[in-house]
Structures are given as C-alpha cells and as structure tokens.
Structure 1
C-alpha cells in the first residue's frame, strides 16, 4: 500500500513524515528524488547539458539551479521541455524506491502531490493542513523574508480548499508537535488495520 503525504509550505508535512519514519514506515521524498535525477552522471543531467549548454553547470560539474531557473522562468517552451524530461525520470525513480521498501506500507512525500496527479498512483492520500496565516508565520520564522514573499509562494500552489476536497485524510497541524504525533500515530494504526493479515502456516504432512 502506498500513501501519498502532502501539505502546503509551512504546514509541517516534513515533521509528519519523520513521525511515520519513526514508526518504521519507508518514505520517499519527491523533492529529494528530483535532486537525485540531475546529479552528475545521471542521464537527465547529460540531456540538460546538451540542450542548454555548459553554462548550465557549476564549476564542479553539478547543475546550476539558479542558471536553469533563469533560462526557463519566462520561457514556457523551455519549461515544458524540462518537465517532459524530468517528470518521467522522477516518477520512475520514486516507483523504484517505493517498491524496494520492506515496511508494511510506504509513504510518498510530495508538496505537489495533487498538482502533478501523483495521488493517482497512491492508495490513499493524507493532507497536513493549517490556515494560511499559520503557513505565513511559520515560513517567515523558518526562512526569513517578508509576508508578501511567503504569500506569493502559497499563491503558486493549489488552493487549500481544493487540497482539502481531494485528500482522503486531513490532519490539522495548527497545534503542538505532540498533537501532530498523536494524529499521525492514530492514522498509522488505521492504515495497519487495512493491511491483509498473513494466515498462519498450515499443518505439515
């Protein structure tokens, strides 16, 4: 069973994922996989280099993410080319990692779970939810910057109402870390209860 976990910036989805991991559940982080597929030696990085030229690399041969953002920021054609290259590679890598886990079920952690339809490959989805005011406060406390910058990031993501309508399970994370842990543990037990139980071995002849 694969569970998709998502939440807007500042919602606490990373904290929730850590709690699932402490419960023995394997987690694949979509953002981490997106970085892995463009590491030196990966086919995707070679394709990006061939398409954009050597200026897209740092001096040590890694992807220059700032330079890449500049190239695609206002160029929809280049952005779509990049997405067509990376999205299949990311999905394949995530599927490989999820299939490798030996835990009772696996967790796919993705900020854009619904935006990229990744929930279609999951059995159930979980939304870590807080109000926009709490999101903004947490983002400013964590990353600095202004309220306007934090709000701009939130506005680029799917609306809170649309995420709530699409999620199978919603955890309110407006309280304490202990309350979040209690909610995650309760949901974990419900997932475990849905798993098929193994029949005891029959008598040997």
Structure 2
C-alpha cells in the first residue's frame, strides 16, 4: 500500500499525459480521474442511475449509456445542472482515486486530477501529500491544442479560458514541472521528482 499520494494536475495541453507515462515507466501507479469519472457513470452503475433520476432518461443513448455530448451541452447551458452532475460524480471519483492510490503496489502513487484547482483543491482532496503542477506557456499550449485536436485558435482559447488560471493552479502546487522542451527534458524532470517522492515515502 502507498501512504504517500501525489496529486498531478495541469491545464489542457500542458503535458500531463506525458508526465503520467514517465511516472508509469518508473514503476509508479497512476490513478486517473478521467477514467474514474467514466467508471462512475458506466452502464449499470449507481452513479448513472442517480444521473437518470436527476435529469431524466433523455440523457441516455439508445443502448443505455450516458449521452455525454447531450449532457455536456446541458451543463454548459445550465450552471445548476452542472452543480448537480458534479455532486453525483465528484464524490465517487475522489473515493475511487483514494482507494486506487492507497492500494497501489509502488513506493508512492499518483492521482492524476486535471481539474484539481477547479474541483476544490486541497479541501476536496485532503489526503494528497503533495501537488505537482505540470505547466507550459499559454501560447505553446494553444499551439499544441490546435495541433492535437485539429481545432481553430478561437476554440482553443475558449477551452483554456474555461479552466483555472495559472495563478490559481500555482496557488495549490508544491512542485512545478515545466514542459516547454523535449520529451527527454520532461522525463528528466519526472526522474528528479521521483527521487524526491521516493525519499518521502521511505520516511
């Protein structure tokens, strides 16, 4: 079991996925909030049943899955609906991440939470021992996002603006990993932090 849990966060196109891969390559268990959220609303789950009870059967596809596109449109148009959905999903995600990290067979574990600053930070995740922010210059993130998703600059800018600001993310971070160079440079940064986290776990 891992007693030391590191929260990994960062804005869209900052390089979180690459950082996750680097930690995994070093033998570290990574629990992913996006995967936990999908599991929380899987077909037959209590979470999906609660969503249907709250929003009605029209949020389902013909095969009984959550219609994520329709749900996304609804919550963007209605802040109350967004809060209702988050009240269903977030507690389940927090529990799943905590359980996965506590049961991890590695010296420490990573809880990858892209929207950590937006979802309550340390108050929502009091069991995080440290928070690692993966960050890059906004102009570089815009370029990456346009190339990655094949979208125009206006949409990419709106996506960045919808997230927490750099200052808000920085306010909750213990460690910052800049990702503005090569993948090898990021891997070197992860290796340095890995040594730090292993020392913390050995105490």
User: 1:153-172 CA deviation, whole Å, 9 max, x = no partner?
Assistant: 11111111232233111111
Contact in 1 for aligned 2:142/2:156 (Cα 8 Å): yes
Match of 1:164 in 2: 170
What SS class does the counterpart of residue 90 from structure 2 fall into? helix
User: 1:27-63 CA deviation, whole Å, 9 max, x = no partner?
Assistant: 0110111111000110010111122222211111110
Q: How many residues align structurally? A: 197
User: 1:89-137 CA deviation, whole Å, 9 max, x = no partner?
Assistant: 1111111211221110000111111221344331001111110000000
Pairs within 5 Å for 1:1-205 = 1-119=4-122, 120-196=126-202
The whole-number CA distance in structure 2 between the counterparts of 1:141 and 1:72 is 27
Contact in 1 for aligned 2:121/2:172 (Cα 8 Å): no
- In the TM superposition, structure 1's runs of 4+ consecutive aligned residues that sit over 4 Å from their partners are none
Gaps of 5+ in 2: none
Kindly report the root-mean-square deviation, in angstroms, between the aligned alpha carbons of the 2 structures.
Answer: 1.3
User: Structure 1's 164 and 73: CA in aligned 2 closer, same or farther, altered over 3 A?
Assistant: closer
What SS class does the counterpart of residue 145 from structure 2 fall into? helix
* TM-superposed deviation, 1:72: 2.5
Report which of the two structures shows the higher radius of gyration computed on alpha carbons: 1
Match of 1:201 in 2: none
The whole-number CA distance in structure 2 between the counterparts of 1:15 and 1:152 is 23
The whole-number CA distance in structure 1 between the counterparts of 2:179 and 2:69 is 32
Which moves more between the two structures, 61-70 or 101-110?
Answer: 61-70
The whole-number CA distance in structure 1 between the counterparts of 2:96 and 2:121 is 13
Contact in 1 for aligned 2:117/2:168 (Cα 8 Å): no
Gaps of 5+ in 1: 198-205
What SS class does the counterpart of residue 195 from structure 1 fall into? helix
